[in-house]
Structures are given as C-alpha cells and as structure tokens.
C-alpha cells in the first residue's frame, strides 16, 4: 500500500496495527479527538445557522457553523443538496423514519415492498412492522449462487402494487454491489420508489444520489470512520416536504400553542430535540479524512486487497467463499468445512487477527446459503496484503488444531 494512502491525509496518524480485518474506524483517533474536544464555545447548539441557547451574551455575527460544514461535506459525499439531508442516529433510524413517515401512511393492505434476500435486519424489520401493522406484503428477490442480484429478478418482483423497493447498495455479508441505477429505473417505470441502504457502501465507493436517482439513501457515520450515534437520511426534497414529522419536540417547530404545533420545513422538521453536535463534528472530521485520501484511491486499494485475499483463500482446502459476485467490494465471507465460524474467530483472535463471525444481522441470507454463520474479513483503507497473509496463516493454524 502506498504510504500516502496508508497514513491518510491527517498528519500525525498513528501507524496501522499489523492485522485487523473487520471494519475499524478512526485509526489514529483524530476523529474522536475532534468529537471530544471540538466544541468551541457557542457551538453547543445549532439551527443550521448560528444559534446560541441558554444564558445569553452577545455573540459573534452569523457565520457558518460546523453543522453547516458537515452538511456541505455530506453534500459533497452524496452529491446532494444539504436541504435534502436529515441527521439521524444511523442507517437504522433513517429506514425506520422512512417506513413510519413516508410509507406507512401510503400503504393499503396488499401493497408490496420489494426486498432482496441479502438485506441487513435494519432494512427488513421496519418493513415487517408495516406488514404487521398495515398489511403490506414483502416480496423477496433471491440472489444467484454467487451472491449477485439480477436486475431482471428485481424487475419481475415489481408489480402494480409495489410501493417501494428497499435495497442495499452493498451487502455487508456477500460484499455484492447492487446495480442501483438500473433498479431505480425499473422501479420508477412501474411507479415505485427506491430506498437504498448505503451503510456498507458509503466508506468504500463514490455515491451520487442524483446520478442514481434513488428516492432515499441512508448510511451511518460509524461505518465511515466517524462516531456512532449519527447517520444520514437523504431524501428527495419533494418527498421530505410531503412527509409528516417522525418525532416531536424542540427544534423542529415554528410555534407551539395550547391547541397546535406548527412545524418547520424539511429537513428541520425531522430533527426533533437537541442534535448530536459532537457526532456531527466527528462525522465532519471523518468526511474530511476520507475525502482527503480520496474515495477512488481507497476503492482501488480495497479492490487490490479483495482480489489478493480471494486468490489466497480459494487455495485453502475446505474453504468456501460465500459471495463471489464479480461486482463486489469490502467484505469477504467464508466458511471452513466442519469448523464453526465462532471457533475460527476465537482462534484467529488469539493471534491478534480480528474478523467478525456470526450471521452479521442478515439471517435471511444465511438461510439462503443454508449456513448458520460465516467468518467475515472486511477490508478498509488501512489494511495491507500482510494482513491477508496473517489471516491465511491463522486459518492454517485453525485447521491444524481441529484436524
């Protein structure tokens, strides 16, 4: 890996620990530093402009707050208008917001929501709520044995009753990158809207919501090396405007009387209560960090690692890689004959090799591949080919122990 990429754009970043294959955020701690210490006086609250709450004393004239800056940064990352960005706790809350505020009021019993079998539980359970509460029908699109999603299969699942297609941009188990632009085209042609779960894609690839033409796009800050507890819902302005607020409280109102509340316009009406200011500042630092290195450079590096790891793992007898789509990135899931993933993870961990094991909050895709769990190595910008070598050596050790 070239040094510029490895050490990032932030001076003073600590050297990368030798082996760590799950997604790890904030290698050098600089994002945490900013989130912890980056709250200058007067920036304790915001209203997408300058605002000071509490005991008042004269303040500086209006200027761009860090919240504005993070919005601008997000605008660049998503190619979206900052007015179409809602701050939420993460991808999960964003999807729940869309389910409750956008889709629930529009669902008649029998209306359909199209999902792929590779979805994370965050992009399944909110739709199950609508099945239970509003009579929605979930239509599942299968993947091929290589874990790829065929646009024709999605098209075939979309019918006159389809209200929404909810689909991952990238699978957190299979690594598959889905053909979102084509799916959006098919869905729109049938009068259905599309929500994209970008939680996995956001740190690995460039996202252009205008180009994709998706109606909603969601992701979590912590997947982009930022802090937990902050994430983003992008929604087309016209849709956000139509949607009722999701939660009520301070900051999202124009006025409150004994009789009624008048809400602010979108996106403010969806941001009830004191915002996660430290989280937003941390997210801004993460975005600066990533964009400083450059998403294309990160992607190229991760593609190299994935193909190196795939080639090496394929040669290990007894290993089966789960998810071999040509269009894939980030995650490399595998199973090893007769050895449970949890045992593999425990032994690798003893050698300082961190992988994630389990169903990865995606039980339906485990069922699809008739497995209870996988071992998953995730590649990020700080990993190196020697991390992959250590993983392969660790697997040999696991096999020695069990055979």
Ligand X SMILES: Cc1ncc(COP(=O)(O)O)c(C=O)c1O
Q: What are phi and psi for residue 245, nearest 5 degrees?
A: -60, 155
Question: Total residues at the site for ligand X (CB under 6 A)?
Answer: 13
Site of tokens 């961190």: 354
Q: Are 338 and 5 in contact (CB under 8 A)?
A: no
Q: Is 162 in the site for ligand X (CB under 6 A)?
A: no
Interface mask toward ligand X for 298-337; x: CB under 6 A: ----------------------------------------
Residue 122 contacts ligand X per CB under 6 A: yes
Chain residues 356-375 in contact with ligand X, contact rule CB under 6 A: 361
CB under 6 A: which stretch of 86-94, 101-109, 185-193, 313-321 binds ligand X? 86-94
256 three-state secondary structure: strand
199 contributes a contact to ligand X by CB under 6 A? yes
Closest approach, Cβ 90 to ligand X, in A, equals 3
User: Residue 344 has which token pair?
Assistant: 């593999």
Q: Is 383 in the site for ligand X (CB under 6 A)?
A: no
Give min distance, CB of 92 to ligand X, in A: 3
Q: Which window, 29-37, 49-57, 194-202, 267-275, contacts ligand X (CB under 6 A)?
A: 194-202
Could you give the string, one character per residue 202-241, with x where binding to ligand X holds by CB under 6 A and - elsewhere? ------------------x---------------------
Give the Cα-Cα-Cα angle 118, 123, 124 (nearest 5 degrees). Answer: 80
Angle ∠(277,49,266) on CA atoms, nearest 5: 85
Closest distance of CB 46 from ligand X, Å? 22
Q: Nearest approach, Cβ of 320 to ligand X (angstroms)?
A: 22
Query: Which of 154, 168, 305, 322 contacts ligand X by CB under 6 A?
Result: 168
361 is annotated as an active-site residue: yes
Beta bridge partners of 403: none
Residue 245 or 279 having the CB closest to ligand X:
279
Nearest to 208 by CA among 70, 74, 77: 77
120 binds ligand X (CB under 6 A): yes
- Considering only 34, 70, 91, 195, the residue that binds ligand X (CB under 6 A) is 91
Phi (first) and psi of residue 304, to 5 degrees: -60, -45
Complete DSSP assignment for 122-177: GGTHHHHHHHHHH--EEEEEP--TTS---HHHHHHH--TTEEEEEEESB-TTT-BB
Pairing of strands 356-358, 112-116: unpaired
Show the tokens assigned to 235: 């929604």
DSSP state of 28: T
Binding-site member from 8, 38, 87, 92 for ligand X (CB under 6 A): 92
Q: Using CA atoms, how far apart are residues 391 and 403, in angstroms rounded to an integer? A: 18
Where along the sequence are the contacts to ligand X (CB under 6 A)?
A: 90-92, 120, 122-123, 168, 172, 197, 199-200, 220, 361
- Residues classed as catalytic: 361
């Amino acid at each position: 890996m070239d040094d510029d990429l490895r050490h990032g754009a932030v001076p003073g970043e600590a050297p990368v620990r030798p082996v760590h294959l799950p997604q790890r955020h904030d290698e050098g701690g600089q994002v945490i530093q900013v989130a912890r210490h980056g709250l200058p006086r007067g920036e304790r609250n915001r209203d997408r402009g300058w605002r000071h709450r509490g005991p008042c004393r004269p303040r500086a004239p209006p200027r761009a707050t860090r919240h504005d800056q993070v919005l601008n940064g997000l605008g660049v990352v998503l190619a979206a208008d900052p007015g179409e960005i809602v701050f939420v706790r993460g991808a999960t809350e964003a999807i729940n917001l869309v389910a409750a505020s956008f889709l629930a009021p529009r669902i008649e019993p029998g209306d359909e929501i199209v999902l792929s079998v590779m979805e994370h539980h965050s992009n399944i359970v909110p739709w199950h709520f609508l099945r239970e509460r509003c009579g929605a029908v979930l239509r599942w699109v299968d993947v091929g044995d290589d874990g790829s999603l065929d646009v024709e299969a999605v098209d075939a699942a979309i019918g006159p009753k389809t209200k929404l297609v909810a689909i991952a941009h990238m699978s957190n188990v299979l690594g598959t990158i889905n053909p979102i632009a084509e799916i959006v085209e098919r869905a729109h042609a049938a009068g259905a809207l599309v929500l994209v779960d970008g939680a996995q894609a956001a740190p690995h690839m460039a996202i252009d919501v205008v180009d994709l033409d998706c109606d909603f796009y969601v992701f979590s800050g912590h997947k982009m090396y930022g802090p937990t507890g902050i994430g983003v819902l992008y929604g087309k302005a016209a849709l956000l405007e139509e949607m009722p607020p999701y939660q009520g409280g301070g900051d999202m109102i124009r006025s409150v009387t004994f009789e009624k509340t008048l809400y602010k316009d979108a996106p403010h009406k969806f941001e009830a209560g004191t915002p996660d200011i430290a989280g937003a500042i941390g997210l801004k630092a993460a975005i600066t960090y990533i964009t400083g290195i450059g998403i294309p450079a990160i992607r190229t590096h991760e593609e190299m690692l994935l193909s190196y790891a795939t080639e090496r793992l394929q040669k290990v007898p007894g290993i089966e890689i789960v998810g071999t789509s040509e269009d894939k990135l980030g995650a490399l899931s595998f199973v090893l004959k007769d050895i449970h993933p949890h045992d593999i993870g425990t032994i690798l961990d003893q050698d300082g090799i961190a992988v994630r094991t389990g169903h990865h909050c995606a039980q339906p895709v485990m069922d699809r591949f008739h497995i209870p769990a996988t071992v998953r190595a995730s590649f990020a910008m700080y990993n190196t080919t020697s991390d992959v070598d250590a993983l392969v050596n660790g697997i040999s050790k696991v096999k020695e122990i069990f055979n």
